[in-house]
Structure 1
Amino acid sequence: MIKQFQEHFDKRYQEPTAIQSAVADALQAGKSVLGIAPTGSGKTLAFTLPLLPRVTPGAGTQILVLSPSQELALQTARVMREWATIIGVKVQSLTGGANLRRQVKKLHEHPDVVVGTPGRILHMLDNRHLKLKHLQTLVIDEADDLLQDDTQAVVEDIERATPLSTQLAFFSATVSPVFKDLDVLFGRDIVTFDVRDTDHSRGPVKHGYLIARTSQQKTATLRRLVSIKDFRALVFFNSIRTLNYAASRLRHEHVKIGTLGGRQKQTQRAKAMRLFRKRQIKLLLTTDLAARGLDIPKLPGVVNFDLPQKTNTYIHRAGRTGRQGEPGVVLSLGDDHDIRDLKKVIKETGVKLTHMYINHDQLTDQRPVQGKRTVSLKRKFSHHLQVEQHDEGNLHKRVHKTLASFTKPKKRRRHKKNRKNKGIRFRHRHKNASK
């Protein structure tokens, strides 16, 4: 690490994380790497600190970083810009949803580092607004997500537009089957650094569940969670439709929330993130793609409104809390059948789910005690307990009968039929029948 970076690093951090130490020398030497580390372990700095000193300011785009979502691209650009300004390097973000003409204008200023989403990057390449002839390093962040389905084809198209000497750097929190074929897919000798077993940057995170059977009950549970002091959470959904339903219900009940996902403008998404980071809203409703890789400091909780169907999905969701040694809680909402299925999904992670309850505006794993009404009834009829010892056999029956009679709802009085009107109706029918 260069001297300027070391001074800035010492002011903010105590020591490098496992992934930062593992890949530093290989990246500085120009080797292609695959870094696997838990979420929240500082993967952005792991490639930022070794790569930026190799950049020559004003010599064209030399580092290109691909991110799966707009939010992560903007976050990565913000982190890299903080360190790049120290050595006079320019960083620009290219994301979908932003003003295209303004981005093209910025590219004409020849940024040294470009961070963006694959779709917008490929669009700029096809229209020759972005030139990569001076590119030194291509970073594929959240590689397990980008190297699947249609996105993988886009990433491969972008890689073909880079020089043959370009260094590749893949980073991920989980292992994907495609990682076995990286050497063949991209024609590079790739060195793998897996530090998941040696990384200790995660704080204590409690994993639990709350029983809620329907979407309406789940929304009511979110409303109760908001009443807990200092509770904030990312709330994950599997579909935009369910997200919009929960958002409309919560807004109708005057709960301050934000949303990420769907057809939102970048300014709307940025505003939601800003309000959530400033703790002006307690719940941020999102999908897996929109929240991928987000770093929200000291986030207390994560809520699975819709339960994840894959192990990696649960790992990425849970990784939003408990970052940098901070404590956190992951809550899953569902009925008994849903929770059984979830336990099967996360079995290989070793995570144990605890039944949680909301009692007196607090989240606890202790079952609430017997209600006050039942206790007060027993006190009110305590005089029935003053009986002789030989009458113990009838004691239970007498107390139970008294309590039941007190709590049993009163029967409604049945109103008698109006025989007069009935007779009139009968006469009318009889009259019509005679005709």
Structure 2
Amino acid sequence: MLEQYQAHFRALGYDAPTAIQAAVYGPMTSDQNVLGLAPTGSGKTVAFTLPALANLLPGDGIQLIVLEPSQELAIQTSRVMRDWAKLLDLKVAALTGGANVKRQTERLKKRPEVIVGTPGRILNLIQDHKLKMHLISHIIVDEADDLLTGDTLETVRAVAQAAPADGQLSFFSATDTAILSDLPKWFGQEVTRIDVRQQDQTQGVVRHGLLQVGMGKRDQMLKRLLAQPNFRALVFFKQTNTLKHTATKFYHDHVSATSLTSDLRQVQREKALQDFRQGRIRLLLTTDVAARGLDIAKLPAVINYDLPSTVNEYVHRAGRTGRMGEPGQVISLGDDHDLRDLKKLLRDTDYQLVPVYFQGKQLTTERPTVSATPAVRAEGRPATRPAGTVATQPAHEHLTPAVKAGKQVPATTAKAQVPAVAAAPVSKKSKKKHKNRHNKNKGMRKKWRDRDAQHDQA
């Protein structure tokens, strides 16, 4: 390892390189193509940064391209690499989708040695002849199990084919997939496989809890979890619509939460992440866009609002907590059927899934005991009393006055004894009107009788 690296390692407080950092340094500095497999949070970014930068020449133009699956991860990686690159007088530029293309083109004119970006934006700049590839000596594909699937596989291959044929290729991932065994077939070069997942000891103790909650009560459960002191969590959703509905509800209820979705502008996404990292926001609602590689220091918990459908999804979500020796907690929400399916999905993994309960403003593995006090319904009426229980209210409280006095009253009579609702009193005004109307009619009748009498006399 270079002397500059060793001094910076000590300055950052690291005692020794992690397993993946030690394993790939030699092969990568000797220009070998490598596939590095290591758990989440094991320092893979630094693992490929140190040897890749050591082979670059300052001021010689763009020589290294690092491909990342998301804007957030590309920006995070560029910051990590820039921290080490300045030791060697190297420049790093980030080129991501969603950002201003003209500004990115201006950055390329400054001839940085390292480009970190998303495959789609990198390929567009290559096709527009804005990004020259003739000096590229090394391409790194981070989160390879994700990038080498679907349409992005062809995009990554197109970027690799635009570089010189003798260029170096490196792939890094936390999980193994079938395509990672077929890399020579897809890229035409032999790749050395380096797997340290069993030897790595960087991950802290992470508990994996199953919290039984119906879909309609999950928002309320998130609020209750916030009652725990110093609680923060990355909350994963499947559907963006569900996420936005919860985010809107939390906004109106003044809950400390914000969202991170792919349809937000880059500035908004960066602000959401920054607020969450610095503790100004306690819940970050996101989809799997944030499950890949994001490094959030000392994150206490990850919550699966919607359960993952694959083992790899669970691995990457859970990998956001318990990083670099810190403790963590994964909380999966679902009904009884959902949680059974999750257990089946993860039965071949080493995860120990344990039922957890929320009581007394904290999570516990102890099943809550049933209270002896009769339950009260939300409407305020006492719930139906279980068989074999005794009413605590005196029986005579339900009897009519006649029964209390010891008189035998027929059922129909007793029923009639229930006090009727008193009729509304008639106002004086209405009585006066009625009296006046009656007197007026009485006077008119007398007048008619007198007139008839006079007529008869005539």
TM-score w.r.t. the length of structure 2 is 0.82
The one-letter code sitting in structure 2 at the alignment partner of 1:402 is A
Q: Which residue of 2 aligns with 1:240?
A: 240
Separation in structure 1 between the aligned mates of residue 155 and residue 392 of structure 2, nearest angstrom: 71
Instruction: Report Cα offsets for 1:220-255 as digits up to 9, x if no partner.
Output: 111111111111111011111111111112112110
Instruction: Report Cα offsets for 1:284-337 as digits up to 9, x if no partner.
Output: 111112331100010000000000010111001000000000000000000000
Separation in structure 2 between the aligned mates of residue 81 and residue 404 of structure 1, nearest angstrom: 75
Q: Which has the larger radius of gyration?
A: 2
Separation in structure 2 between the aligned mates of residue 290 and residue 315 of structure 1, nearest angstrom: 13
The one-letter code sitting in structure 2 at the alignment partner of 1:345 is L
Separation in structure 2 between the aligned mates of residue 232 and residue 414 of structure 1, nearest angstrom: 58
Query: How far did residue 360 of structure 1 move?
Result: 2.0
1:153-302 pair list within 5 angstroms: 153-214=154-215, 216-302=216-302
Q: Which residue of 1 aligns with 2:330?
A: 330
Describe the shift of the 1:31–1:404 C-alpha distance in structure 2 as closer, same or farther (beyond 3 A). Answer: farther
1:85-100 pair list within 5 angstroms: 85-100=86-101
The one-letter code sitting in structure 2 at the alignment partner of 1:85 is K
Describe the shift of the 1:229–1:57 C-alpha distance in structure 2 as closer, same or farther (beyond 3 A). Answer: same
Separation in structure 1 between the aligned mates of residue 60 and residue 260 of structure 2, nearest angstrom: 36
Percent of paired sites with the same residue? 48
The answer to whether the 8 Å contact 1:240/1:262 transfers is no
Match for 1:401 among 366, 383, 390? 390
The answer to whether the 8 Å contact 2:147/2:156 transfers is yes
Q: Which residue of 2 aligns with 1:425?
A: none
The one-letter code sitting in structure 1 at the alignment partner of 2:283 is L
Q: Which residue of 2 aligns with 1:422?
A: none
Q: Secondary structure at the match of 1:402?
A: coil
Does the alignment pair 1:104 with 2:93?
A: no
Q: Which residue of 2 aligns with 1:52?
A: 53
Q: Which residue of 1 aligns with 2:306?
A: 306
Q: Secondary structure at the match of 1:55?
A: coil
Describe the shift of the 1:78–1:401 C-alpha distance in structure 2 as closer, same or farther (beyond 3 A). Answer: same
Separation in structure 2 between the aligned mates of residue 190 and residue 132 of structure 1, nearest angstrom: 22
Structure 2 portions without partners, runs of 5+? 376-386, 399-417, 424-458
Describe the shift of the 1:405–1:322 C-alpha distance in structure 2 as closer, same or farther (beyond 3 A). Answer: farther
Separation in structure 1 between the aligned mates of residue 303 and residue 420 of structure 2, nearest angstrom: 52
The one-letter code sitting in structure 1 at the alignment partner of 2:55 is R
Q: Which residue of 1 aligns with 2:33?
A: 32
Deviates more, 1:365-374 or 1:16-25: 365-374
Q: Secondary structure at the match of 1:348?
A: coil
Q: Secondary structure at the match of 2:295?
A: coil
Instruction: Report Cα offsets for 1:173-229 as digits up to 9, x if no partner.
Output: 001111121011111110000111111111000000111111x31111111111111
The one-letter code sitting in structure 1 at the alignment partner of 2:54 is P
Q: Which residue of 2 aligns with 1:382?
A: none
The one-letter code sitting in structure 2 at the alignment partner of 1:115 is V
Instruction: Report Cα offsets for 1:322-370 as digits up to 9, x if no partner.
Output: 0000000000000000000000111111212111122222121122345
Separation in structure 1 between the aligned mates of residue 350 and residue 83 of structure 2, nearest angstrom: 37
Instruction: Report Cα offsets for 1:354-405 as digits up to 9, x if no partner.
Output: 1112222212112234548569xxxxxxxxxxxxxxxxxxxx96xx313487
Q: Which residue of 2 aligns with 1:320?
A: 320
Q: Which residue of 2 aligns with 1:20?
A: 21
Q: Secondary structure at the match of 1:332?
A: strand
The answer to whether the 8 Å contact 2:204/2:322 transfers is yes
Instruction: Report Cα offsets for 1:79-122 as digits up to 9, x if no partner.
Output: 00000011110000001111111111111111100000011111
Q: Secondary structure at the match of 2:289?
A: coil
The answer to whether the 8 Å contact 1:33/1:168 transfers is yes
Query: How far did residue 132 of structure 1 move?
Result: 1.4
The answer to whether the 8 Å contact 2:240/2:287 transfers is yes
The one-letter code sitting in structure 2 at the alignment partner of 1:237 is F
The answer to whether the 8 Å contact 1:70/1:290 transfers is no
Separation in structure 1 between the aligned mates of residue 269 and residue 26 of structure 2, nearest angstrom: 37
Instruction: Report Cα offsets for 1:54-92 as digits up to 9, x if no partner.
Output: 111111111100000000000000000000011110000
Describe the shift of the 1:187–1:370 C-alpha distance in structure 2 as closer, same or farther (beyond 3 A). Answer: same
Structure 1 portions without partners, runs of 5+? 376-395, 419-435
Separation in structure 2 between the aligned mates of residue 302 and residue 147 of structure 1, nearest angstrom: 26
Q: Secondary structure at the match of 1:44?
A: helix
Q: Secondary structure at the match of 1:340?
A: helix
Q: CA RMSD in A?
A: 2.3
The one-letter code sitting in structure 2 at the alignment partner of 1:18 is A
The one-letter code sitting in structure 1 at the alignment partner of 2:63 is Q
Separation in structure 2 between the aligned mates of residue 405 and residue 314 of structure 1, nearest angstrom: 57
The one-letter code sitting in structure 1 at the alignment partner of 2:342 is L
The answer to whether the 8 Å contact 1:26/1:33 transfers is yes
Separation in structure 1 between the aligned mates of residue 268 and residue 360 of structure 2, nearest angstrom: 35
The one-letter code sitting in structure 2 at the alignment partner of 1:165 is D
Q: Which residue of 2 aligns with 1:70?
A: 71
The answer to whether the 8 Å contact 2:74/2:94 transfers is yes
Deviates more, 1:357-366 or 1:306-315: 357-366
The answer to whether the 8 Å contact 1:92/1:113 transfers is yes
Query: How far did residue 142 of structure 1 move?
Result: 0.1
Describe the shift of the 1:44–1:402 C-alpha distance in structure 2 as closer, same or farther (beyond 3 A). Answer: same
The one-letter code sitting in structure 1 at the alignment partner of 2:149 is Q
